Structure 1
Amino acid sequence: MTVTPLPSAPGPGAHTTPGPVTALPVTAVTCLEDRAQVERTATVELAAGVRRLRLGPLTALAVDRTLRAESDTPGVRVLDARITRAWTPRAPLPPGPDDSGLRHRLHALEGRIREEERLTDRLEARLALLAQLTADLLREVGEGAGAGEVERTRWHRELDRVDAGREQHGEELRAARARLRRLEVDRAAALGALEEAEERPAELVAHLDLTVEAAQAGPALLTVHHLVPCALWRPSYRATLADGELRLESEAVVWQRTGEAWTGARLTFSTARSALATEPPALAEDVLTLRERTAEEKRTVEVELREEAISELGPDGVVPGVDDGGEVRVLNAPAPATVPSDGRAHRVPLASFGGPAHSEFACAPELSPLVTQAVRFRNTAGHPLLAGPVELVRGSGFTGRGRLPFTAAGADAELSFGSSDGYRVVRETEERQSTAGLSQRSVTTRTVRLHLSRFSGPEERDEQLVAVRERVPVSEVAAVEVRLRKEDCSPVPDAFDTEGSVRWDVPLGPGARRTLTLVYEISASAKVAGL
């Protein structure tokens, strides 16, 4: 990117002397969710008066209305800044992986033609040298014969050697020229086919035109800010578990295809959503009406069983944006980084921390028969951890990928390091219906049996704790009651909360087996329908 002075309009104090060519690189970038704020700086030599400068080229995707140019140098003022764009032919470049086979063939033919031309030039130079050598030999023969010095054997030998060389190189030159003619015919055919099938479009090139006023001659620092689309970032993590400690490394994954590379730029990552509207939504009337219940509605209470899950945005539970807990977060890269404009993912290190971690084996047989290793740790990074994918690494190496939820500073987080093949869980359910006495309440008794086994190798001798979780329905209406029958549970659960979650902490030694029994009953009045 260069700075080229343009002729300025004539006027008092105006100077049209061209200044030196100065680079205008991208020095800082603030990455947002779906765009980026680019900062460029350059130092230019200015003469006193008003002067027009052209900066560029820069990406044609720059947003004009966000353009801001300024100078911190005293006595220098930017009067006007605008972006001008023009279509220019693309520079000749070798074909890339996305180009057609015809363009690759043309590129290969041109390379072979250049090789044959170089070979032809070498052969012609050798033949010219042999011709000069033949002339020198014939002159030596004439001079020696006139002086009476006859060396027939040597003259015959030298002339035969020169003639053999001229014949050999002449034949090679004829073959090279024949190959060159065939290649030129093939190139002409390929060029004709390429002109009929493809047309290389012109490239849109943008420049920044500045009108600058300087009170005195000297260097001036110019700073340009503008927004560009086609750039985004997302947080990513790498968790390493070793010797009871967890080390979490945070990175920013950056994609950009703005048309120019960010080379050695200071990168800042923000969760600000500048694309969201700032106006409150329009209010609509919400009319509520009252009506008398029908006799049938008074006699019955309609209920249903439903699953409650934490809803997430996006398909397959993937959050499309950055989950920042509802507050804008700003993260700074500790060192300058380079992000090429290729549309691929590039990782920029942000920070890392480590600390003690609590590991346990957990299982939810109603959802999965696998026993997973859950690791809990505290966020001691000093700032919140944004939600994002995590690469999981244990002592044996890479074990898989997980997802870290949004974690406030100082809060506890949990990661799953995959399932263990040394455990097996079998779940059995049994249901019994009955009616309770004069009240005619229907009682449904459900029994859940969990058979937990541990398969250990001969080197394992320690006892391990497995956290087993089950669910009990929670009633939202007075006509339906749910009761956990602790006297029939074996063993009695270690924890039971208001959300219906039941937990056992089961110690298992090598080769041990345990059976857990959960019993609860659902009692509903005669007016309840739907169970």
Structure 2
Amino acid sequence: MSPRRTGGARPPGPCTPCGPRPRCPSRRSAAARPAPSAAPARRARPGRRPGCRPGTDCPGTARRPGGGPAGLRRPDAGRPGRAARPARPPAPRRPTRLAPDRLTPAGRADDQAARDRAESLADALPLPANAVHPRYSAGSFDHRYDAPARTDLPSDGGWHTVTICEIPVSLRTEYICVPSVDPAVFATLLLANDSDQALLAGPLEVTVDGDFLLGTALRTLAPGATRRVGLGVAESVRATRRTEVQESTAGLRGGITVVEQRVHVELANRLGHAVTVEVRERIPVLGDKDIRIEDRPGSPAWTAPAEPSEAYPAGTRLWRVELPAGGRAQLEGGYEIRIPAGKALAGGNRRN
């Protein structure tokens, strides 16, 4: 075999013939490649690129120190200064711990979960008529009620009435009339909480001599507080009202207009027992400092509440009368309005 030229000067001395050199099949000429149908395709082993000869370093494979392919290499394998790192072992899993609960002893989380489920089911149930949830009826206070003994409740998903304690409440029947608005007389039940415990809001049933009268709602009654419950119109107690107005002048040269209004109310009791009737009247409220309003003496004299409230707005005057069985009463009162010259009342000077 004659030596090959490389394009440079020939090296001195005789040329040593080259031995056979292993070549990758992918570098063979097209003529040396077998036809696709000449032989079945060789199945590639794991870690070796298809078409590479055994014992050769093909791209895409890594060699173990002892020889043999070691599977596909990592992206950073073969780079200078970098080596394949082993996979990080998984971190040990910590045991699940329950959050501390101040209301549940340790080890009783299942009981608390069952209690929470029961409360969620109870919240979904519709409340009975006129019932109010204690969270809303108690307001900003916490109340404690001690039961005398334990009670078994059927687990049927419904509401049941259980007696926990008895709170003494005093009752008194009174009658109210506002004849300037309606001549009807209304019967009311005045409740007073004489205990040191609050009576929470809830349904109230009123009975008379064992007969059911009506059912209504009662708002929370604090210790020592009173509440009035309406019972309807009392047909056996009647009231009538009439007014009279007198207008005159006063002051120097008659520059002040004086309007005096008198109110007459007559009450009649047709019941077989004595009753207490509260008659409510109202006088005009000042809107101008130049106009004066003065109460006139009456028989009996009416009184004004200590301070305005929802039941007694500003300008309210009251009579409280004790009527015997079959008795009558005459009430008289009035007020006087003084209007300076150049001013007048809106709607006229006369008031009903």
TM-score (norm 1): 0.37
Q: How much does 1:485 deviate? A: 0.7
Judged with a 3 Å threshold, the aligned counterparts in structure 2 of structure 1 residues 364 and 72 are, in CA distance, closer, same or farther, namely same
Give yes or no for contact 1:480–1:524 (8 Å, CA) kept in 2: yes
Equivalent residue, structure 2, for 1:506: 321
Give yes or no for contact 1:369–1:426 (8 Å, CA) kept in 2: yes
In structure 2, distance between residues paired with 1:331 and 1:355? 18
State which of 444, 462, 471 in structure 1 corresponds to 2:282: 471
Q: How much does 1:383 deviate? A: 2.7
Q: How much does 1:426 deviate? A: 1.6
Give yes or no for contact 1:235–1:387 (8 Å, CA) kept in 2: no
Judged with a 3 Å threshold, the aligned counterparts in structure 2 of structure 1 residues 339 and 352 are, in CA distance, closer, same or farther, namely farther
Equivalent residue, structure 1, for 2:186: 372
Alignment of 1:182-193 (within 5 A): none
Judged with a 3 Å threshold, the aligned counterparts in structure 2 of structure 1 residues 222 and 468 are, in CA distance, closer, same or farther, namely closer
The residue type paired with residue 481 of structure 1 is: R
Structure ranking higher on relative contact order (CA contacts 8 Å, 6+ apart)? 1
Give yes or no for contact 1:361–1:373 (8 Å, CA) kept in 2: yes
Alignment of 1:31-46 (within 5 A): none
Equivalent residue, structure 2, for 1:480: 291
Equivalent residue, structure 2, for 1:148: none
In structure 1, distance between residues paired with 2:169 and 2:249? 56
Judged with a 3 Å threshold, the aligned counterparts in structure 2 of structure 1 residues 228 and 356 are, in CA distance, closer, same or farther, namely closer
Structure 2 alignment gaps of length 5 or more = 1-92, 307-313, 347-352
Equivalent residue, structure 2, for 1:492: 300
Q: How much does 1:512 deviate? A: 3.0
Alignment of 1:57-72 (within 5 A): 72=105
State which of 327, 332, 338 in structure 2 corresponds to 1:517: 332
Equivalent residue, structure 1, for 2:23: none
CA deviation map 1:276-301 (0-9, x unaligned)? xxxxxxxxxxxxxxxxxxxxxxxxxx
Judged with a 3 Å threshold, the aligned counterparts in structure 2 of structure 1 residues 389 and 366 are, in CA distance, closer, same or farther, namely farther
Give yes or no for contact 2:177–2:277 (8 Å, CA) kept in 1: yes
Judged with a 3 Å threshold, the aligned counterparts in structure 2 of structure 1 residues 396 and 349 are, in CA distance, closer, same or farther, namely closer
Which of 1 and 2 has greater Rg? Answer: 2
Equivalent residue, structure 2, for 1:452: 267
In structure 2, distance between residues paired with 1:69 and 1:360? 50
In structure 2, distance between residues paired with 1:473 and 1:420? 29
How many residues get paired?
A: 240
Higher helix share: 1
Structure 1 alignment gaps of length 5 or more = 1-13, 15-48, 52-65, 77-219, 238-251, 255-268, 272-321
CA deviation map 1:6-39 (0-9, x unaligned)? xxxxxxxx9xxxxxxxxxxxxxxxxxxxxxxxxx
CA deviation map 1:112-147 (0-9, x unaligned)? xxxxxxxxxxxxxxxxxxxxxxxxxxxxxxxxxxxx
Verify: 1:409 aligned to 2:215, yes or no: no
CA RMSD of aligned residues (A): 4.6
Alignment of 1:125-140 (within 5 A): none
Judged with a 3 Å threshold, the aligned counterparts in structure 2 of structure 1 residues 69 and 463 are, in CA distance, closer, same or farther, namely closer
Equivalent residue, structure 1, for 2:258: 443
In structure 2, distance between residues paired with 1:72 and 1:506? 62
Alignment of 1:209-248 (within 5 A): 223-224=112-113, 225=116, 228=120, 231=124
Equivalent residue, structure 1, for 2:350: none
Equivalent residue, structure 1, for 2:58: none
The residue type paired with residue 493 of structure 1 is: A
Verify: 1:383 aligned to 2:197, yes or no: yes
Give yes or no for contact 1:399–1:418 (8 Å, CA) kept in 2: no
State which of 421, 425, 437 in structure 1 corresponds to 2:239: 425
In structure 2, distance between residues paired with 1:424 and 1:403? 27
Give yes or no for contact 1:332–1:350 (8 Å, CA) kept in 2: yes
The residue type paired with residue 135 of structure 2 is: S
Q: Higher mean Cα deviation, 228-237 or 434-443?
A: 228-237
Give yes or no for contact 1:71–1:221 (8 Å, CA) kept in 2: no
The residue type paired with residue 408 of structure 1 is: A
The residue type paired with residue 226 of structure 2 is: D
Give yes or no for contact 1:426–1:452 (8 Å, CA) kept in 2: yes
